Chain A
Amino acid sequence: MGVSSKLGNLGIVTTTVEQAVNHARTGAMWPLLFGLACCAIEYMSSQASSYDLSRFGMELNRATPRQADLLIVSGRLTRKMAPVVRQLYDQMAEPKWVISMGDCASCGGVYNNYAIVQGVDEIIPVDVYIAGCPPRPEQLLHGILTLHEKVKGERIADWA
């Protein structure tokens, strides 16, 4: 199973730096402990017993953006909150990724009005969008795995 079967008795495994680094990055992508609205409750559900995000190395939420790799924008983003989210994103260390969870974060959802930013991508770059109001935990897991696929495809040239 896995690496040990490929090792034989040599104790050596060959890979590329890209693959090794990307594997490490997807294996322990710490999200920022950050919730905005309804989606944050479903995000908590995914963290809890039934869905158990720790299967993907994500049980550790960091409350400070300095230690977080992944920003999950979970919920509707208001105009008053937008500068705060932008600041949180700016404070995160590279490499960093953003998942826009739910309809409100992705496109404003049902709230096309004066108060809501029509999609979080108006203020920060987004890697993966998840539809749903709110998305089920399974949808969030799918979004996270999609992000993992994206990260695994990253090249040295992109790291800079």
Chain B
Amino acid sequence: MAVAAPPQSPESIEEQRRWEGSLDQLRGLVSERAMTGETMLLNMGPHHPSTHGVLRLLLELDGEQIVSCLPDIGFLHTGIEKSIEDKSYEKALPLTDRMDYLSPMSNNMAYAAAVEKLLDLDVPERGQIIRVVCLELARCASHLVWLGTHAIDMGAMSVLLYAFRERERILGMFEMLSGQRMMSSYIRPGGVWRDVPADFLPTIKQFLNDFPYKVDDYEALLTKNPIWKDRAQGVGVIEPDVALAYGMTGPALRGSGVNWDLRKAQPYSGYETYDFNVPLGEHGDVYDRYLIRIHEFRESMKILNQAVSRLETVKGPFRSENGKYCPPPRSELGQSMEAVIHHFKLWTYGYDAPDDEIYSAIESPRGEIGCYIHGTGANKPRRVHFKTPSFIHISALPVVAKGYLLADMVAIIGSVDIVLGDCDR
């Protein structure tokens, strides 16, 4: 006896209809030829293996050629910014982890840097060095996921297995630092949660020793691979002026040859004291953006090597010792009444931040992630807004994709490296 499929409720059918939208609603957004059926409208996503999450694209196709592309976002809108308004500054931090879930450390840093700017709080040198280590490790981990998934989209299956092998090692180091593999909440306003454990330095040194050879392995699989080149070269060209006009940042912008990296342009966390280069592309195509991220692995290695050697020499506090904003060390709680008061105040009420608005930005693996905070004078912000690179890159997709083939679309989406959690928040 066959069981009938569970009936759809009238509400869900109704919602479905609204979601799909009628052709009339698309008038003006797609070309007139779509109205007569001369071109085809194709729905890609939100459940599609190559949209890197829950992105929906409405594509208008002439044969296989993309005539227009309408991104539909919001399938992962989580209300993070609104939720933060109801939390004290310290307690809002874990929410920021979950925006750009490929590099939570960068989100933490963007938020922490903004709060520090609002409070005028200084971070001790050791704290800054640990931050740089975390940020560059996060950059590698994020680029590794990008490399694996981008290669799968283009038909190279095995790269993912190699990339995730190294990513597991980075996640292991994050776990060592923070106790969590991904959602670490490690970088906090005023510094970092705790000092690096004793076995962290040998582990990261071993990793820094091995990783350059692994990057060579990835390059051996892809860089000169004729299939890869055919799929990537000359595809998804972003002209520099288009990239700037849309406000693109990160590898997507540098692939077009525009030299803009916030680590150089507006250094934070002591990046100005490190010696590294910013790789630039020439053609602005998918292949250049691939090469840039591969080079960024090597540049991150450079920064990490310098930072790790500094970690060995620079001692001292790893977070601000201002008891109003940062919790006292555990060892003081049994001895100092002041420390107990600070601790109690911090975990129950938090701290007041001035009634002021600030914006501060950092360079995440995807580009500029900025944080705008409007304080109220009390312990909760009036408004927090994140400017995220994925949102901007998705908004530029229609211009970038126009004229290319449907199969190139997955290459373009992969190469600008969007994360829908980052876009929708």
Contact B95 A86 (CB under 8 A): no
Contact B101 A37 (CB under 8 A): yes
- Residues 75-89 of B, flagged 1 when their CB comes within 8 A of A and 0 if not, give 111111011000000
Contact A160 B1 (CB under 8 A): yes
Contact A44 B183 (CB under 8 A): no
Is there a chain A Cβ closer than 8 Å to B12's Cβ?
yes
Interface size class of A (residues with CB under 8 A): 35 or more
Contact B6 A134 (CB under 8 A): no
Is there a chain B Cβ closer than 8 Å to A58's Cβ?
no
Contact A84 B46 (CB under 8 A): yes
Q: Kindly identify, within residues 56 to 87 of chain B, every residue whose CB is under 8 Å from any CB belonging to chain A.
A: 74-80, 82-83
CA distance A111 to B86 in the complex (A): 12
> Which of A6-14, A18-26, A73-81, A145-153 sits within the interface?
A73-81
Q: Which of B49, B79, B162 is A116 in contact with, Cβ under 8 Å? A: B79
Is there a chain B Cβ closer than 8 Å to A4's Cβ?
no
Q: How many residues of chain B get a CB closer than 8 Å to chain A's CBs?
A: 48
Residues of A within 8 A of B161 (CB): 48-49
CA distance A16 to B182 in the complex (A): 44
Assess A111 versus B183: contact at CB under 8 Å? Given A38-B101, A78-B77: no
Q: Which of A49, A63, A81, A116 is B165 in contact with, Cβ under 8 Å? A: A49
Residues of A within 8 A of B12 (CB): 83, 86
Nearest B residue (CB) for A116: B78
Is there a chain B Cβ closer than 8 Å to A67's Cβ?
no
Nearest A residue (CB) for B104: A38
Residues of B within 8 A of A48 (CB): 148, 160-161, 163-165, 167-168
Residues of A within 8 A of B75 (CB): 78, 80-81, 84
Q: Which of A49, A63, A83 is B19 in contact with, Cβ under 8 Å? A: A83
CA distance A115 to B81 in the complex (A): 11
Residues of B within 8 A of A88 (CB): 47
Q: Within the complex, what minimum Cβ distance (angstroms) separates A34 from chain B?
A: 6
Q: List 11 A-B contacts (CB under 8 A).
A: A33-B49, A36-B53, A37-B76, A37-B421, A76-B78, A81-B46, A83-B16, A84-B75, A113-B82, A114-B82, A134-B182
Interface residues of chain B, those whose CB is within 8 Å of chain A, are 1-3, 5-6, 8, 12, 15-16, 19, 46-49, 53-54, 74-80, 82-83, 94-95, 98, 101-102, 145, 148-149, 160-165, 167-168, 171, 181-183, 420-421, 424
